[in-house]
Structure 1
């Protein structure tokens, strides 16, 4: 669960870890799904205030600008397609996509929580199913 809450690794890395530790693919996916959703409300509600505070400091201004620019440049389809774009962005299990990036993009694009959270959740469920099926097949091949 904690592995899934870590940025970059997220659910995509936590499911294979859970399976390799002996969990069934379904249990690994469920636990990873719960863990990966833990940071979402915190990101959606607080990241803009945190970024605004950090922008006032010399040490973090460039980092915040870089993260903001990178997130907004990746979120063109989210801007274009709205909630559906966010759902697909989170659902695609590739590097640079996922819950953390999707939550950050939704917060920076001022998406309302009542639309962003369900889109992120459904996208994360889709990603969990894809990664679970892929991980299960890899385990079968090497067993």
Structure 2
């Protein structure tokens, strides 16, 4: 792999780790940087999954710690409320609901939200990680297909 492909792959992976951007931003970024579609997809999926275990393991502890700071308390309450609202589908449809929550490539969904919901609902990691991974694979496929469709218009 050439140095340029390696750098663009690393950058794509980095973009995929950022909350909100995730795959929705990383795959178009990788394609625009000249990565082949398969490589843009693969690096974005890997990058999107990197923070998931840490989120699931540490987010409740981080939230508890941040709540002790006056400025953060209401913001953490707001984040948790939104996560619990999104978690309704997960509670109702269980693991399938978690897959769908992650798979729909819209703002407010994705691996970060799925990991947060799974952590707050205390879904065991060995159950949640595969569900989130399947959702990321589906979302990556959707975003890659849509991105290639948009590129073909130009």
Distance 1:113 1:124 in 2: 16
| TM-score normalised by structure 2 residue count | 0.90
Q: Quote the residue 1:11 is aligned against.
A: 23
Please give the alpha-carbon distance, in whole angstroms, between the structure 2 residues aligned to 1:22 and 1:136: 12
Match of residue 29 from structure 1: 41
Distance 1:115 1:74 in 2: 18
Normalised to the residue count of structure 1, the TM-score between the two structures is: 0.97
Name the CA distance, whole Å, in 2 between partners of 1:61 and 1:82.
29
Is 1:86 aligned with 2:94? no
Q: 2:124, 2:115 → 1: CA distance?
A: 11
Q: How many pairs were matched up?
A: 142
Instruction: Name the structure 1 match of 2:58.
Output: 46
| Shift in Å, 1:59 | 2.0
Q: CA deviation at 1:74?
A: 1.7
- In 2, Cα distance between the equivalents of 1:130 and 1:95? 14
CA-CA distance at 1:138 after TM superposition: 1.1
**Residue 3 of structure 1: SS of its match in structure 2?**
helix
SS of the aligned residue for 1:120 comes to: helix
Mean CA deviation greater in 27-36 or 51-60: 51-60
**1:74 equivalent among 69, 72, 86:** 86
4+ residue segments displaced more than 2 Å: none
Match of 2:74 in 1: 62
In 2: Cα distance, 1:97 partner to 1:14 partner: 15
Root-mean-square deviation (Å): 0.8
The answer to whether the aligner puts 1:135 opposite 2:154 as a matched pair is no
**Secondary structure of the residue that 1:2 maps to in structure 2?**
helix
